Chains A and B, each alone.
Chain A
Amino acid sequence: MKKLILQIAVLIAVFFAVFTLSKQINWMKLFKVDKLTKSTEDKLGDLIWKSYSATITEETNYVVINAIDSIVNKICTANDIDSSTIKIHIIQKDEVNAFALPGNHLAIYTGLLQDCDNADEVAGVIAHELAHMQKNHVMKKLIKEIGMGAIISLTSGNSGTVSEILHLLTSSAYDRKLETEADITGVDYLMNAEINPEGLAQFLFRMATTEKDMPKAIYWISTHPESEERAKDIMARIRVSKKKNFTKSADQDWAIVKKELDKE
């Protein structure tokens, strides 16, 4: 009996030894899993955007487009993010909303731009969404909600769940852990870009107050809950960083941007 117990122990030990040794090899790199995942994400993003773009009108005003481009570029350059991979879409809609889609599609509603008091607030929202993209939150959320199987089936020609995914990404929240990570990373992005991160906190504070008073469809808040607590967390993060000097991003232009938006 002693011999058998010893043999069982040896068998288990051998398996775990093989498993531990196997873990030392970077199989993800060897099988090019990251590349495959990226290509699936890009395919999925293009598929979703193709379906979504048929239902919306994109902003064509160059003053607005250039202002957003310049904010995105500034954040990307300061944080070693390849800005050419970010596909920015400014959508003509009154709702206060912005969201990231797979394949680095960043959608911002004109309603949100009109609601922002200054460019720092817009930069705050953009940095937050960029953080979702860079931290792979979009795919994590999709995999959690609909599963990898449905995603693969979708990218291989089954178009059944595109509207479900779209609804999921535009009007439902990430979990609190991912939101906090996006807030913190977003603040770091802003500070690296010398943009005042208080803009994001101010936007969240204002949205939290407005939410109580107005029945208006403030989607960004419904998809980003507990905004007041998060704004406080952001302020705490800024205090810890001890960084005080920020150049105002594109503040002087924001009144012009809003004026252009009001014309429409």
Chain B
Amino acid sequence: MNTFSYTPSEHELEKASNSYLMSLVALIAGMPLPIINLVATFFFYVGNRRGTYFVRWHCIQALLSQLSLLFMNSFGFWWTVSILFGPETISNKYLAYIISVFLFNIIELIATIYSAIQVRKGHHVSWWFYGDITQIICKPKL
């Protein structure tokens, strides 16, 4: 948890916190498609790309955190599809992969909920790796 370059307003805190909640939208809707989370977060970012620095910063961090999961989840998703409708069979390797992906999703889920709560309280949360990329991409002025 770091301090931000300025103290964001109540309105900004709400919007920034919502960017994390958007990434949970697919999970709440029970959608198995891995791209839905990313699309939801992306559209939220597009809607707020002209927002304040604090809002944009957290929108980008929420968006980036979805990217690595997208690759993992997509691979798992198509592997599952090929088992259900194709020539693949359930193997220990497949189960190990799905469990690993599930573990990473859980970690990301906890981190997302934690960030949403902390940001809403006015604390600036910068994730390891994703926070650093966000810092490079997101500049104070448009």
Q: Which residues of chain A have a CB within 8 Å of any CB of chain B? A: 3-4, 7-8, 10-11, 15, 18-19, 22-23, 25-28, 31, 33, 37, 140, 143-144, 147-150, 152
Contacts and interface: CB of A to CB of B under 8 A. Distances in A.
B103 A18 contact: yes
Contact of B83 (A4, A26, A148): A148
B84 A11 contact: no
A90 B132 CA distance: 72
Given A4-B129, A7-B128, A23 B93 contact: yes
A22 B100 contact: yes
Contacts of A15: 72, 100, 104
Given A4-B132, A19-B97, A140-B89, 18 more contacts: A4-B133, A7-B128, A8-B129, A19-B100, A27-B95, A27-B96, A31-B95, A33-B90, A33-B95, A37-B90, A143-B89, A147-B84, A147-B85, A148-B83, A148-B85, A148-B89, A150-B85, A152-B84
B30 interface: no
B interface majority secondary structure: helix
Interface in B78-99: 83-93, 95-97, 99
B68 interface: yes
Contacts of A28: 90-92, 95
The size class of the interface chain B forms with chain A is 20 to 34
Contacts, number: 60
A150 B72 CA distance: 26
Contacts of A37: 90
B90 to A, nearest CB: 6
A110 to B, nearest CB: 34
Contact of B96 (A19, A33, A149): A19
Contacts of B86: 144, 147
11 contacts: A10-B129, A18-B103, A27-B96, A28-B91, A28-B92, A31-B95, A143-B88, A144-B87, A147-B84, A147-B85, A150-B85
B84 A148 contact: yes
A139 to B, nearest CB: 8
A3 B132 contact: yes
Residue among A10, A26, A143, A152 with the highest chain B CB neighbour number at 10 A: A143
Contact of A7 (B84, B88, B97, B132): B132
Given A4-B129, A15-B100, A140-B89, A149 B84 contact: yes
B89 A11 contact: no
B78 to A, nearest CB: 14
B129 A26 contact: no
Contacts of B68: 11
